Amino acid sequence: MNMYHLTSTKRKKYQRRMNQIVRRVNKAIKNDWLWDGRFSLRQVDALFEPFDDCSGAMFRVLLELTDNKTGKFEQKVFDNYDVDYAMPWWVNECITERFKVWDEKPDPHQQALKAGRRPPEYF
C-alpha cells in the first residue's frame, strides 16, 4: 500500500502506514554500518482532512530528522503524495548537505572503521 491516493476516510489506516514508514527508516539507519543509529526520524504532528464529497482524504505529516550526535534537527511537512518518494530524498539531503557530516574530522567513514564497523561485502 502506498500513500498516493487516499480513498478511505479512516485516519488510523494512514497513521499506521506512516508509523510503518518511520519505523522502516529508523531501522535502516540503525542497522547501517556507517551511521549506526546516529540519526532518528520521528513524526511531530499529523493532519487528516477528508474531502467534502467523501471520495478520499489528504494526510499531512510533520517529520523531524535529528542528528543524535550533534543535536541538530530539521523539520518538514509531507503530504500523502510525496511521503513515499520525496521523504527518502529529504532524509538523504539532510544527512549529507544540511548537517554537513562529511565536513567532520575524521569523516564518518573513518569513524566507523575506528569503531570496528566494516562495510558490507558485495558480490
Using the 8-state DSSP alphabet, how is residue 107 labeled? -
pLDDT digits (tens, 9 = 90+) for 4-25: 667 777 888 889 989 999 999 9
pLDDT digits (tens, 9 = 90+) for 97-113: 999 998 888 889 898 99
Cell matching residue 70: 550533534
pLDDT digits (tens, 9 = 90+) for 62-81: 999 999 999 999 999 998 88
Return d(Cα 112, Cα 31) in angstroms, integer: 13
Return d(Cα 72, Cα 74) in angstroms, integer: 7
pTM: 0.86
Provide CB contacts within 8 A for 96, sequence distance 6+.
Answer: 102
Query: Element (H or E) spanning 61, and its range?
Result: strand 57-67
Give the domain ranges of the chain.
Answer: 11-114
